[in-house]
Amino acid sequence: MNSAIRRLAVAAIVLMLALMANSTYLQAFKANDINGRNDNRRVRDAQFSIDRGPILIGNIPIAESKESNDQYKFLRTYTAGPEYAPVTGYYSFLYGRLGIELNQNSQLNGSDPSLAFRRVVDVITNRDQQGAAVSLTLNAKAQMAAYRGLAGKKGAAVAIDPKTGKILALVSRPSYDPNELASHDLNKVGASWKKFTEDPNKPMSNRAARELFPPGSTFKLVTTAAALSSGRYNPDTKVRSPAQLPLPQTTTPLMNENKLNCGGSDNATLTVALRNSCNTAFGSVGLELGADALREQAEKFGFGERQLPELGAVASQFPADPNPPQTAQSAIGQFDVQATPLQMAMVAAGIANKGDVMKPYLVESVRTADLKTVSETKPESLHQAVTPEVASQLTQMMVDVVENGTGKPGRIGGVQVAGKTGTAQTAKDRPPFAWFTAFAPAEDPQVAVAVMIEDANVPRDDIAGGKLAAPIAKSVMEAVLGR
């Protein structure tokens, strides 16, 4: 009998070992998976009760957790909510996270592996887990200038430091107040969410990075870059520029905005064509270069790939397989060409940085609560879009646009500005999109900017990129240059 009892004793141990092994699998190996589940209320509640790190510009917090005496220990507070909402996003109990709050979540809540040592110290010294501070590249003055400039309008502005790719300003209007979503009064949060999501003006759309618009004539910079890079053109090359350009396979000709030829000539130089933003000239250049060359050039500026992972920006597009008339339309930024204001700012920034497009980024550095640097973003080159020679030719042409052409409202006294206007028609019954993209100073660029106005609430004939968007771009550049 004893041998049977001994066997049962072994069997009992095996049963207990199975329990221990299963619990080990669950609590040691599978725990991360389970903790990461969306329906895990414990984790969500707990995250809402930890001292989440601030989001900073310089040393000034634009989002921080303040102690609160309600069901959670901390209330996420946004000091200039709507102004920075497209960047910070929100941190909501009911609706999760967005923007930097989403992308930098593990740093902000302190759970990131890079903060593991910090956490151990916190445990030993019996302190509550503290999140790290995330410093952004934004320039508060530029952000303010863009936000004020777009007041009362529907649109977006993005400013980039062309030499590094740092995002200096990123604004989308109309905006929303993330404080309303971070509130601990969950009924109010629900009502605000409904208000924001049902508003026809879509205040929660990030027009700067997550929405696509026809770039219109600002895309002519890409067409010009492709032309100059092909070796078959220089700034003085004469191109066909009649008032109407007949297109193959269609009876509808391409027409200039003013229904005249280009600067008084049917064969204007590329420089003159850009100065006056002549559709027929760039349509014919586009036809000669072909869609593939245009697409390749566009991709070198960053089209076709998602930029700025911090905000999950969408990829700008050049149509996949346009026929010749569609190619001509695409060359002037119409048809199916779609771009974010961020992308058009990158085009200007690439030209400004001698053709080297820097990878745009928003997170300057991550620091622990006691100001030790955890990580710092190093500038990275994305693509060499054009050669330095072509970049310098383009710069000269863009300076000419601002000094003598459609971009005059973008001029800054004492500083040479290089820019390009755009006015994209989409449908007869909706106002066109007004664009302006520029950089300054032309000889040593400190800032590249793109401004897009979707709906300015002004009479239709008043709309032109130069008149509407350029002054805003100008004030953003002035803010960066300290003027």
Spatial distance between the Cα atoms of 87 and 281, rounded to a whole number of angstroms: 39
By the rule CB under 8 A, 114 interacts with another protein: no
Spatial distance between the Cα atoms of 70 and 2, rounded to a whole number of angstroms: 63
> What are 380's two structure tokens?
């990275």
By the rule CB under 8 A, 13 interacts with another protein: yes
Helix (H, G, I), strand (E, B) or coil at 308: coil
By the rule CB under 8 A, 45 interacts with another protein: yes
Which residues are annotated as catalytic? 217
Q: Which is nearer to another protein, 31 or 260 (CB)?
A: 31
- Site size toward another protein (CB under 8 A) is 36
By the rule CB under 8 A, 31 interacts with another protein: yes
**Helix 470-481 × helix 140-149 angle, to 10°:** 160
Q: Which is nearer to another protein, 22 or 197 (CB)?
A: 22
By the rule CB under 8 A, 127 interacts with another protein: no
By the rule CB under 8 A, 23 interacts with another protein: yes
By the rule CB under 8 A, 321 interacts with another protein: no
By the rule CB under 8 A, 19 interacts with another protein: yes
Backbone CA torsion sign across 282, 285, 290, 295: negative
Residue with token string 């002035």: 478
By the rule CB under 8 A, 40 interacts with another protein: yes
By the rule CB under 8 A, 116 interacts with another protein: no
Spatial distance between the Cα atoms of 173 and 112, rounded to a whole number of angstroms: 33
| Sheet hosting strand 447-455, strand order edge to edge | 167-173, 154-160, 447-455, 433-440, 418-424
Spatial distance between the Cα atoms of 297 and 291, rounded to a whole number of angstroms: 10
Q: Which 65-84 positions form the footprint of another protein (CB under 8 A)? A: 71
By the rule CB under 8 A, 125 interacts with another protein: no
Q: Which amino acid is at 239?
A: V
Helix (H, G, I), strand (E, B) or coil at 397: helix
**Closest distance between another protein and the C-beta of residue 17, in Å?**
9
Residue with token string 């960066």: 480
**Closest distance between another protein and the C-beta of residue 50, in Å?**
13
Q: Tell me which H or E stretch contains 127.
A: none
Binding segment toward another protein, per CB under 8 A, in 24-32, 139-147, 212-220, 422-430:
24-32
CA 399 remoteness from chain centre: 25
Binding segment toward another protein, per CB under 8 A, in 41-49, 275-283, 320-328, 392-400:
41-49
**Helix 388-404 × helix 341-352 angle, to 10°:** 110
Binding segment toward another protein, per CB under 8 A, in 14-22, 177-185, 288-296, 459-467:
14-22
By the rule CB under 8 A, 124 interacts with another protein: no
- What does the binding site for another protein look like in residue numbers (CB under 8 A)? 1-6, 8-9, 12-13, 15-16, 18-20, 22-24, 26-28, 30-35, 37, 39-43, 45-46, 71
